């Protein structure tokens, strides 16, 4: 009986000392974006607005293939982000499947960068190769209210 009362008291104390209201966000589920590139310049695919006091992950799945469908680049990347005191910070990339490119499109890749209040997803194609890109982005986040 003493153990039960002790555990109940500890539980009540721990709940009262860690009470914060968090808002859970699971947005942009299977958002498909597409883009065509014709050179090796980084081109914006999408921009995700991050609200103050938010923390989470974004996962980007990408497939880019040459117009003649002979070569492709594929990959899956996850990034952790935080926005605290007005500053958006994007963590190091977690390579779920590092981008792999066939020889014809070697060097083609995709990335995410922090820009002001947004996370911007970019694709970089191959010089003199027309490429069609498809992106699926999923965002998991929570913010303190």
Do the beta carbons of residue 112 and residue 90 sit within 8 Å? yes
Domain coverage including residue 38: 21-144
- Residue 106 pairs in a beta bridge with none
Would 63 be classed as within a structural domain?
yes
48: in domain:
yes
Interval 79-122: pLDDT, tens: 999 998 889 999 999 999 999 999 999 999 999 999 988 999 99
With beta carbons less than 8 A apart as the criterion, state whether 89 and 83 touch. yes
Under DSSP, the state recorded for 5 is H
Q: What pLDDT, on the 0 to 100 scale, is given for residue 72?
A: 95
Average pLDDT over residues 4-11: 50
Residue 74 resides in a domain? yes
**pTM of the predicted model as reported, rounded to 2 decimal places:** 0.76
């Amino acid at each position: 009986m003493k153990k039960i009362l002790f555990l109940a008291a500890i539980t009540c104390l721990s709940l009262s000392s860690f009470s914060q209201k968090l808002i859970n966000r699971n947005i942009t589920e299977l958002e498909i974006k597409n883009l065509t590139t014709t050179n090796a310049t980084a081109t914006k695919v999408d921009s995700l607005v991050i609200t103050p006091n938010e923390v989470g992950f974004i996962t980007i799945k990408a497939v880019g293939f040459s117009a003649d469908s002979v070569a492709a680049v594929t990959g899956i990347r996850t990034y952790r982000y935080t926005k605290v005191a007005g500053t958006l910070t994007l963590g190091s990339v977690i390579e779920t499947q590092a981008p792999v490119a066939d020889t014809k499109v070697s060097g083609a890749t995709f990335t995410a960068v922090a820009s002001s209040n947004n996370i911007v997803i970019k694709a970089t194609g191959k010089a003199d190769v027309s490429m069609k890109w498809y992106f699926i982005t999923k965002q998991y986040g929570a913010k303190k209210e």
